[in-house]
Structure 1
């Protein structure tokens, strides 16, 4: 077993050990990448921690981690930095070559699977899919101000700030399922940020009538906020709005 710099915490069997390693690893990874990257946690992270604690299966777990990072859009450099942060937490100067190879192979496999445009955790379409749908609206409308874009709204749902990654992910899975039942008329539903979901929906009377109920359910059952946005006159502005929506910590309503 590797030496472990975890503030005096001894590696031993049990969930507490895995949780502590995950905390230290996550902190080191954030320090290396100098950014919040709040989508750091995935089930693959727990698989790696379990493999370290049990002393077996680490190469396979690193492969899973590489796949998860690729599906999340992380570059190979970012994925390798993440792996380096793990071994830094374990007291090693650098990851063994076979772990690097396993991670890189997983990252390549995960990149090929991005064609399905779905987030692997929630099953929702990703932001790239939503941007494609919005672009189609503008291409199909000769006069966007009065055509398809003007007849649609972007409905955003945001979980509260400050949730730990595991609780946030669990809520997103449940919320995504419920929104899929709410938006059941062919609307485009997508995960636009690690705590935000957006739906491209027709701006008709039915949507206006149903939105207050969505507000109430999202607030009471998930502590989430709901607001809707009109699509701007140009496609470029609309795509920028989706990108901005995924990274904002405050919401702009109209």
Structure 2
């Protein structure tokens, strides 16, 4: 498929459904306190469910978890959630190497909680496929903090940001996607964000590698965990490769 064919395809119903499909895999994580009867969120990120052949577990970015730990020290009455399920991250921790080593963290989650979240599980492998390389198509999504909407004193809605773009760089540790504003297509119909749009909150979200076979069938597989989405120098999304995650949810440190 050439560039013009891709633009036509993504501008139609296929592009809309492709991007909306990411929503089925992502869930917001948040923490906060009740202030004068109103639920006030003090931090949020994004997470997803992963299964690599054993039990399913929850994945997000390590620095998201570290932000939660900082808030926990400051606010003894802190409450934390995965979606709308109250969830104590410290009690469920599987593996955390520290964001300076690997910006991924994993948690235990029950089958009942997975059913209540109503989210699809991303399936990986004990023998990961090749990592994302430059020019691979990458599908990603998450929940920017700026899109939170306080509908009721005790209820907050999370708006989602999703995108499909080629990888612009790749290394042993991570891959990056520069978001070229003049190449954007409004596939869903909600308008295109302005340049410099603050993506803070999408960290921990999934990144999928898009595949097209010889007869044009398009699929995607989990490929990374978003750990940085910066608009300081350019609109860029950085993801750690998923192959650092082991089947039991433990993590291996990059060399």
TM-score for both structures, normalised by structure 2 = 0.26
Larger fraction in strand? 2
Normalising by the residue count of structure 1, what TM-score does the alignment of the two structures yield? 0.26
Tell me which structure has the larger Cα radius of gyration: 1
Q: 1 or 2, which has the higher helix percentage?
A: 1
